[in-house]
Chain A
């Protein structure tokens, strides 16, 4: 499922810049950048795929859906194959990180450990505030700049944290793992 709007790396960094200035306005700023709740969007998308509505399972007499094939679809399939390539998830691609050197790596890992320790305590005590979510977004700035995480994944992660489907502790850990396993350039 995709969100309403895909933010570019530049847009995400702009959003993070604003969060740095006003960390308590997390909901407002993130909302302004179109990172709305995805649940409604996702549900609507599913229902809209083929004009879904409330209906019983239709009784289909043909053995399978192949019964609807009436014309040679070879050309159509060929065309769709090209289109399919364009809209596919994309071949798996490892982001290797540019400008990620040993010094930067140590700094980011220290920052990650500090933030993780603090947010774990807050999540256990159930005292997480919008400012904590802002701080997580701000933490994503460097990995995003260094191409350690794609803008798409960063956006989805922020949305998941916003909606509570991924805890902030887990979100830090996912990024922390990537920081640890990516080899810095010398």
Chain B
């Protein structure tokens, strides 16, 4: 697989995201989650992501928190999408695109995807999307929007954690 970023650039990106994560308190994230309109069980599961970390060399990265903040950024950046499709669909699309593109996030995010009614196939396709049951093709469109948005996150994670065994 070829990457547009260099490993050094990816390391810097991740360090900057970690810096953002360090400045965001658990209470800030919780405040957003409880008022976001997400189902309570999904909000709780998302909040649990905050504890997920991964070590690279001598550094520990708050991967769960970084992912959650990126999902928050995605929601913030797409208010019309949230208004039209619902917060659950938007968060679901974000999670689906991350699971499909960053293998080690699968076990972490799949239970949340399941709560949101999303099924990920082995090939990475999203099926059984509740939105698509009502409006054909819309779920796929939102998924594509999410995939484009998370392009940099996906590339950075895959580069930095390429040689790191999942823990």
Contacts and interface: CB of A to CB of B under 8 A. Distances in A.
B62 to A, nearest CB: 11
Contacts of B48: none
Contacts of A78: 141
B106 interface: no
A57 interface: yes
**Main SS at interface, chain B:** helix
Contacts of A79: 80
Interface of B: 3-9, 11-13, 15-16, 18-20, 22-25, 28-29, 31-40, 42-44, 69, 72-73, 75-78, 80-81, 83-89, 91-92, 115-117, 130-131, 134-135, 137-138, 141-142, 144-145, 148-153, 155-156
A49 B72 contact: yes
A72 B134 CA distance: 8
Given A73-B135, A163-B23, A90 B152 contact: yes
Interface of A: 1, 38-39, 42-43, 45-47, 49-60, 62-69, 71-74, 76-81, 83-85, 87-95, 149, 153, 156-157, 159-160, 163, 165-166, 170, 174-175, 177-178, 180-182
A153 B135 contact: no
B74 to A, nearest CB: 8
Given A64-B92, A64-B115, 18 more contacts: A39-B24, A43-B28, A49-B72, A53-B35, A54-B31, A57-B44, A58-B35, A66-B131, A69-B85, A73-B85, A76-B83, A84-B77, A84-B78, A90-B152, A93-B4, A160-B16, A166-B15, A182-B6
